[in-house]
Amino acid sequence: MAYDDSTYRRQAEEPTPTDPAAYRSNTLAAAEQRRRAEELDGVGDTTADVLRRAEAEEDGRDRLGIHLGWEVVLLVAAAAIGFLLWRLEPESLRRPDLDDLLITGAAIGLLTLGAGLTLRAGVPNLALGPIALAASLQYAEQGDQGLVKAMVPALVFAAAGAIVLGVIIVVLHVPGWVATLAAALGVIVFDQLRVVPVAVQGTYDPTGQAFFLFGGFAVLAVFGGALGIVTPVRRWLGRMRPTGDPARRRGAIVAFPVIGALVLSSLFAVAAGTLFAAQSDGPIVPATGIEWTGIALGLAMLAGTSGYGRRGGIFGTLFAVAALTLFLDYADRREFDISLFAIAASVVAAGLVVTRLVEAYGRPLPVVGPADWNAAAPATGANWQPDLPETWSTASTTPRGDRWDSGPWGTGTGR
């Protein structure tokens, strides 16, 4: 028998079945090859390519129903606390007490804006509280020279420190929360250089501009929330958020949003600390300020901004700040004597629950693609089964008659 006999020739590849119900050949191998090719192709991708591929995994617009529904809950909560405060002491919602309430709300709101902005940018600023306390001490010591002369040094130092911190985060590509924690510890050292409370020497009274200050915060909160739902703005601001390998460098393209978010949040913290000091009836006590960081981050998440930074609402920050401001005044008038650390812990815990709700129900609806497997019976083949075979055994196969050991050179008939 010649070796060119068709029995020993390499069998030609079988034609691809045209029946849509037939098994797809090498499906798993092809999928694995595509995956490995994408990994190899992604080595030299730019940040824009990585983000575009990550965003493409969730086609469609985020669902805002969960945000709007939760914002209604926050509005109802704020109204309920306001009603309790009015029942307790109606004068608390009338001037001049209302002015103090609005100033407190504006200061807390500025801290919350800074926390929400840095969360969306992927670099949560944990130094907000210590920076606000440092600004309060600065105004208490230098307030007799005027508001401008007291605030300018604090603004300059806060902006310069934020720029340096942002450069470190971008160049070394380290987690933003770790870097800002180190900055917070450094600012706490500056705050605790004072060993006694500092009396406020300034004469600036912000209550005359209470409506303007709180109104300015409200406009910033709503406008910032509306911008955050615009896809191009959200992607540009969140370039530092992890996509794939979190240690992978994002490049210089993330420098501006990261540094800008840190600078703005630090300036907001200085303004908030100045308002706290100008409104205070007593001296400013040196402390850590970490409790205000917790309140700011907790309120940002409670308002609907995801702890991962990608999703956020529109009116949530305004309603959450209003609710907490009213609660603080109510607790003070009822002499509950609740620690700010306890309030911060509670707000952060509630914010984590809201983050899970937002992430669970705020994602775009899944895109329904074409079916990759058709379980309909084929036109031919009486023994066809719709399920893929789980195992394969040689015992179930019929031995072929053209084996090498069946011929004259086999072991059974060998010479």
pLDDT in tens, 203-231: 788 888 889 999 999 999 999 888 878 77
Predicted pLDDT of residue 25: 42
Domains of the chain: which residue ranges? 59-361
Distance CA 223, CA 315 (A): 9
pLDDT in tens, 118-168: 988 888 999 999 999 999 999 988 888 888 888 899 999 999 999 999 999
The least confident of 226-235, 237-246, 252-261, 274-283 is 237-246
Average pLDDT over residues 223-247: 74
Predicted pLDDT of residue 12: 47
The per-residue pLDDT of the chain, averaged, comes to 78
Q: Which CATH architecture has domain 59-361?
A: Orthogonal Bundle (1.10)
Three-state DSSP string of the chain: CCCCCCCCCCCCCCCCCCCCCCCCCCHHHHHHHHHHHHHHHHHHCCHHHHHHHHHHCCCCCCCCHHHHHHHHHHHHHHHHHHHHHHHHCHHHHCCCHHHHHHHHHHHHHHHHHHHHHHHHHCCCCCCHHHHHHHHHHHHHHHHHHCHHHHHHHHHHHHHHHHHHHHHHHHHHCCCHHHHHHHHHHHHHHHHCCCCCCECCCCCCCHHHHHHHHHHHHHHHHHHHHHHHCCHHHHHHHCCCCCCCCCCCCCCHHHHHHHHHHHHHHHHHHHHHHHHHHHHCCCCECCCCCHHHHHHHHHHHHHCCCCCCCCCCCCCHHHHHHHHHHHHHHHHHHCCCCCCHHHHHHHHHHHHHHHHHHHHHHCCCCCCCCCCCCCCCCCCCCCCCCCCCCCCCCHHHCCCCCCCHHHCCCCCCCCC
pLDDT in tens, 315-367: 889 999 999 999 999 998 888 888 999 999 999 999 999 988 888 777 766 55
pLDDT in tens, 59-90: 456 667 777 888 899 999 999 999 999 988 88
